Amino acid sequence: MTEQDAQKVREAYAFEGGRISLGALVEGEEPRADVPVNLSLAMLNRHGLIAGATGTGKTKTLQVIAEQIAAAGTPVFVADMKGDLSGIAVPGEPSEKLTARAAARGQQWQARAGVTEFYSLGGQGTGVPIRTTVSDFGPLLLSKVLELNETQESSLELIFHYADSHGLGLLDLKDLRALIQFLTSDEGKSELKGIGGISTATAGVILRELTAFEASGADVFFGEPAFDTADLLRTAPDGTGIISCLELPGVAQRPALFSTFMMWLLADLYQDLPEVGDADKPKLVFFFDEAHLLFKDASKGFLEQVVQTVRLIRSKGVGVFFITQTPKDVPADVLAQLGNRVQHALRAYTPEDAKALKATASTFPTSAYDLVELIPSLGTGEAIVTVMSEDGAPTPVARTAVRAPESSMEPAPAEQMQRIVAASPLAARYGQVVDRESAYEILTRRASQPEPVSEPERVPEPAARPRRSTKDNEGFLDNPAVRSFLRSAGTAIGREVTRSLFGTRSRRRR
C-alpha cells in the first residue's frame, strides 16, 4: 500500500460526527497508529456484518463496537449464545502486552465496564426473565418454531384469528392447546365454518408439534408478565447506554426458538418506535451472534419478513449487526442491506471453502488488495473493513488491526452476574410468573358447565404493559367523538386484534 492509499483511508474514515474506533490500518505487517479506521455512529442504522472463522476475533470485535456504542449514549442489545460476552460488565485486566498492543493501534487503553442488564429467556439461566404471550408472539413466528408447512401455518392463523375476534386470551401454550382441541371438537367445529375451518389431520399435526415444543421446556418462554421492549431503550444515570445481554447457553439446542424470539423483539420495536429519519446516533443497536441460526431452515415467507424488517427498521433508528462465520450464512437480500462490513480471516481447506472465499471477496468494493489471497492470511484480531460513510458511500477497503476491548475478555463471574440481576429494577417487574384467567380456564369451565349463553364470553386481553405513546396519539384519543366511537365499536371491530410484521400484535397495549 502506498502513502497515497494510506492517505485515502485516513480521509475516508475521519468522520465529522461521532465515531466508533475499530483500530488502525495495517501496512506491511504492522499497524499504523496515525491512520485510524472508524465507524460512523450516525450510520450504524445502516446495519452491519462481522464475519470470520472460529477463533479469528469476531466476538471481541463485537465487544469493541458494543462497548463504545454504549459509551456514546446508545443502548445496546447482545445475544450471548456461548456465554463469553458477559465480561462486558466487568473492567478488563491491564497487562504490559495489552497496553503495548493498544498503543500500536493508537488506543489509550483504560479498564472500564459497561452498565449491563442480564436477561434470560423465560428465567432459564442467570438474568431477568424475558417472556411474551402466545398472542403477542403471533402465528407466523410460532409456525417457524413448530416447523409447520404452509397449510398448517394458514390453519394456525385461523386459530389465532378466532381467539383474537372472540376475546380468548392466548397467554401461554396450554391456552393454545386448549383452543385447538375445542375448535376440532364436535362443539367447536361449527365455530370455524364462517372462517374456513381446519382439518382434523392438520390440527393433529399442530397439536403434536406443540406438545413436543412444550415438552422441550419452551413453555417457560410464554406467559406473563410480558416483556416491554421499551426497557431495552434505557440509559444509565451517567448518560451511557445500558447494555442488555441476553444469556442463551441454556437454549443453544433450540436455535429456532432463539431466532424467532429475537425477531419478535425486532418486530415489536418496529411497530412501536416512531420514524426518526437521519439522527446523530441510533436509538438502539442489536447484535445477533451466531446469526446463521436465525436463517437455518427458514421458510421463504419468514426470510421475506426478515428482509423487510431489516430494510425498514433503520428508519426507526435501530441498527442490526449479524455475527457469523461467512457472509454466505446470511441471505443475499439481507446481505445487501448491511453497509458496515468487518471480515476476519476465512480458511479455504476444501473446494467449497474456496468457493465461499471467492464469494466473500466479491462482496467488497474494488480495492488495492487481492482479497482472495489476503483474507485467509489475516492474523487473529485483524480484519478487512469497509463501512458506510456519512454521505452514504462505502469507504475504501482497509486491512485493519482491531483495537482491544476495555471490558473483560473473560466471562463475568457467576456471583457478580447474580448481584447485577438482583439489583436490577426490572427484577421485581418481570421476576414472578403471573397466571391470569385465559382461554384454557374459560374453555375448561365451558366444558364442565355447558350452558347456552346469549353473548360469547370474553376475557381481558393479555396484561397491559406500559407502552410508548406520542403527543399526536394522546391528542387523538382525547377527542370525545373518537372515544365515543371506540366505545361503541368495542364489541366488534374494537375487539379484533390487528397484526403487522411477522403476525405479531400491532395494537397498542395500554
Residue 15: the pLDDT is: 94
Residue 449: the pLDDT is: 74
Quick check: is 443 in a domain? Answer: no
How many angstroms from the chain centroid is the CA of residue 138? 16
Quick check: is 388 in a domain? Answer: yes
Q: Do 370 and 492 sit in the same domain of this protein? A: no
Q: Which residues contact 363 (CB under 8 A, 6 or more apart)?
A: 327, 335, 341
Segment 483-487 shows an average pLDDT of 36
Give CA–CA dist 118/77, Å, rounded: 10
The structure's pTM equals 0.85
Strands in 90-168 per DSSP E: 116-121, 128-130
Quick check: is 437 in a domain? Answer: no
Q: Is 319 helix (H, G, I), strand (E, B) or coil?
A: strand
- Whole-number average pLDDT of the chain: 85
Q: Phi and psi (nearest 5°) for 187?
A: -70, -40
Amino acid at 64: V
Higher-pLDDT residue of 354, 460: 354
Q: Do 35 and 163 sit in the same domain of this protein? A: no
| Domains: count for the chain | 2
Residue 328: the pLDDT is: 87
Give CA–CA dist 75/430, Å, rounded: 20
Give CA–CA dist 468/463, Å, rounded: 16
pLDDT surpasses 60 at 469: no
Quick check: is 276 in a domain? Answer: yes
pLDDT surpasses 80 at 422: yes
Residue 501: the pLDDT is: 60
* DSSP state for residue 148 in the 8-state scheme: -
262 pLDDT band (50/70/90 cuts)? confident
Is the CB of residue 346 less than 8 Å from the CB of residue 357? yes
Q: Do 349 and 259 sit in the same domain of this protein? A: yes
Q: Do 9 and 73 sit in the same domain of this protein? A: yes
Q: Do 84 and 172 sit in the same domain of this protein? A: no
Segment 393-399 shows an average pLDDT of 95
Q: Phi and psi (nearest 5°) for 137?
A: -65, -45
* CA neighbor of 232 nearest in space, from 309, 288, 284, 287: 284
Question: Per residue in 157-175, pLDDT tens?
Answer: 999 999 988 889 999 999 9
Q: Do 38 and 172 sit in the same domain of this protein? A: no
Higher-pLDDT residue of 218, 464: 218
Strands in 209-273 per DSSP E: 243-247
Is the CB of residue 476 less than 8 Å from the CB of residue 470? no
Residue 473: the pLDDT is: 45
Give CA–CA dist 353/12, Å, rounded: 32
Q: Do 314 and 424 sit in the same domain of this protein? A: yes
Quick check: is 434 in a domain? Answer: no
* DSSP state for residue 87 in the 8-state scheme: G
Cis check for the bond before 225: say yes or no (omega within 30 of 0): yes
Quick check: is 333 in a domain? Answer: yes
Question: Per residue in 33-57, pLDDT tens?
Answer: 999 999 999 999 999 999 999 999 9
Q: Do 276 and 145 sit in the same domain of this protein? A: no
Give CA–CA dist 161/154, Å, rounded: 10
Residue 249: the pLDDT is: 72
Q: Do 475 and 379 sit in the same domain of this protein? A: no
Question: Per residue in 62-71, pLDDT tens?
Answer: 999 999 999 9
Question: Per residue in 90-141, pLDDT tens?
Answer: 999 999 999 999 999 999 999 999 999 999 988 788 899 999 999 988 898 8
506 pLDDT band (50/70/90 cuts)? low
Domain boundary at 381, 412, 428, which? 428
Grid coordinates in use for 445? 369451565
Distances from the Cα of 209 to the Cαs of 44, 143, 204, 340, 498, in angstroms? 39, 10, 9, 39, 26
Higher-pLDDT residue of 107, 510: 107
Is the CB of residue 160 less than 8 Å from the CB of residue 428? no
Higher-pLDDT residue of 28, 237: 237
β-pairing verdict for 398-402 and 128-130: unpaired
Give CA–CA dist 360/322, Å, rounded: 15
Quick check: is 450 in a domain? Answer: no
Residues of the domain holding 172: 134-222+464-503
pLDDT surpasses 60 at 294: yes
Residue 256: the pLDDT is: 64
Q: Do 148 and 80 sit in the same domain of this protein? A: no
Residue 269: the pLDDT is: 86
Higher-pLDDT residue of 194, 226: 226
Quick check: is 510 in a domain? Answer: no
Q: Which residues are paired to 76 by β-bridges?
A: 243, 285
